[in-house]
Amino acid sequence: MDAFYSDNITNALKNDPPGEWMPYIPEDCIRLSSGFPAPSLVPVKQLKESIGQLLDVEQDLPLHYLGTPKMDELKQQIIERLDQREMKFTMDEVLVTAGACQAIDLIARIFVDEETVVAVESPTYMEALEIYKNYTDRFIEIPMDEDGLQTERFAKLLADRKSKGLPLPQLLYTIPTFQNPTGTTLTEERRRHLLELADTYDFLIIEDDAYGELFFHDQPKTLKAWDKANRVLYVGSFSKVIAPGLRIGWVSATKEIIEKLFWFKKDLDHPFAQAVMSNYLRQYPLNKRLSLIQESYKEKCSLMKDALADYMPDSVSWYVPRGGYFVWVKLPGEDTSELLEQATKKGVSFLPGKHFFLDERDGREWLRLSFSYEDSTAIVEGVKKLSEVVCNR
């Protein structure tokens, strides 16, 4: 039996080596690769107080399978926040999940099989690609530019497929606001166009809004807020604005869809984490916290853009984000995967662009930099180190 498991594990690792998409990063590197909240902005003290108060009041309840009434309270808090952003939902139309990724996976379970065609942005969030590839290998890729998903290109692609009798997508996965990895934001005109295309060609839209609260100036209106035909399944998360380790996300959709998602989710709840989050939100208003982190990330993004302008060669270009965590950088003629090894030896890391494309060759000249995790001094020093590597090639 041991040999059986050993052989099968070995074969599985040969097919999908661990860490292939996330390269090894030395401990002493400046991590411009890390799409994590800044350590100084994780509310450790407040969460500690919330946990202590929760256990003092509720004792063992949050530690049981069934959890506490605070799980429903958390759902209500999410609904109230969505209402402030012009999205109206009832308790039957929201499912709390273990982060946004569980929400995406649950949606894939009920809507995607090997015959399903899924439309995705190109590039897009690497984890979402991995989830969908577990269910289907039939994809339509829509190119991105500085204004997000190119809806005109998508419209032509859909019309062409229909005229040729090719299968149309049943789902579109999109991150329209402060996208990962590009940092781009879909314009209002394109948002409206995308919803029109969904009506015309009869597909659903999964709107991943993980970064939507991290705006630097004005907050864009979500696709879901424009949605009049229940085409949009809205996915949100507290990971980027409070603490990713609590794994609190959600999906908002029609009651019928939520019931199906709930059936697949079954008892895979995190009662303690949900109760902690609810208690935290009760004590510490989210709007006040958002103002703090928005200002911090805005400042760090500005420092990164200035450093890129100061140190990078003129041939290098990048998209300018209006929020979120990331700057998407193009190095014409370079293979950023090869560049990474030299950069880490120099003391700075990034993510090569290939990891965000279905066809890795499409991302050869691109890389993603994150300004969220490191402090201001490290951001500038990291960009300087990376620029030295680029200039010396």
Q: What is the pLDDT of residue 25?
A: 75
Least confident of 75-79, 89-93, 360-364: 360-364
Task: Give yes or no for a contact between 277 and 248, defined as CB atoms under 8 angstroms apart.
Answer: yes
- As a whole number, mean pLDDT of residues 143-151 equals 97
* Tens digits of residue pLDDT in 171-183: 999 999 999 999 9
Question: Which CATH number, 3.40.50.1820, 3.40.640.10, 3.10.20.30, 3.90.100.10, labels domain 46-283?
Answer: 3.40.640.10
Distance CA 185, CA 222 (A): 11
Q: What is the pLDDT of residue 68?
A: 82
* Tens digits of residue pLDDT in 199-245: 999 999 999 999 999 999 999 999 999 999 999 999 999 999 999 99
State yes or no: pLDDT of 166 exceeds 60. yes
Q: What is the pLDDT of residue 205?
A: 98
State yes or no: pLDDT of 8 exceeds 70. no
State yes or no: pLDDT of 10 exceeds 70. no
Percent of the chain with pLDDT over 70: 94
In the β-sheet with 249-252, what is the strand arrangement from edge to edge?
94-97, 249-252, 232-237, 204-208, 171-174, 118-122, 139-145, 148-149
Q: pLDDT tier at 52 (50, 70, 90 boundaries)?
A: very high
Q: What is the pLDDT of residue 379?
A: 98
- As a whole number, mean pLDDT of residues 187-200 equals 98
Q: What is the pLDDT of residue 58?
A: 83
Q: What is the pLDDT of residue 285?
A: 85
Task: Give yes or no for a contact between 387 and 350, defined as CB atoms under 8 angstroms apart.
Answer: no
DSSP 341-359: HHHHHHTEE-EEGGGGSSS
Q: What is the pLDDT of residue 122?
A: 97
Fold observed for domain 24-42+288-391: Aspartate Aminotransferase, domain 1 (3.90.1150)
Crossing angle of helices 376-391 and 286-311, in 10° steps, is: 30
- Cα dist from 243 to 39, 40, 51, 99, 237, whole Å: 10, 11, 14, 11, 10
* Tens digits of residue pLDDT in 326-337: 999 999 999 999
Task: Give yes or no for a contact between 111 and 126, defined as CB atoms under 8 angstroms apart.
Answer: no
DSSP-H helix ranges across 222-270: 223-226, 255-265
Mean pLDDT over the full length of the chain: 92
Q: Where in the chain is the domain with CATH 3.90.1150.10?
A: 24-42+288-391
Instruction: Give the pTM.
Output: 0.92
* Tens digits of residue pLDDT in 278-288: 999 999 989 88
- Please state, as a whole number, how many other Cβ atoms lie within 10 Å of the Cβ of residue 169: 25
Task: Give yes or no for a contact between 319 and 146, defined as CB atoms under 8 angstroms apart.
Answer: yes
Q: What is the pLDDT of residue 80?
A: 96
Q: Say how many residues make up the chain.
A: 393
389 or 23, which is more confident:
389
Q: pLDDT tier at 23 (50, 70, 90 boundaries)?
A: low
Block residue for tokens 């424009």: 226
Task: Give yes or no for a contact between 176 and 149, defined as CB atoms under 8 angstroms apart.
Answer: yes
Of 388, 279, 204, 365, nearest in space to 51 by CA: 279
- As a whole number, mean pLDDT of residues 318-343 equals 96
Q: In terms of DSSP bridges, do strands 171-174 and 118-122 run parallel, antiparallel, or are they unpaired?
A: parallel
3-state SS assignment for residue 148: strand
Distance CA 250, CA 230 (A): 17
Running DSSP on this structure, what letter comes out for residue 216?
A: S
Q: pLDDT tier at 24 (50, 70, 90 boundaries)?
A: low
State yes or no: pLDDT of 3 exceeds 70. no
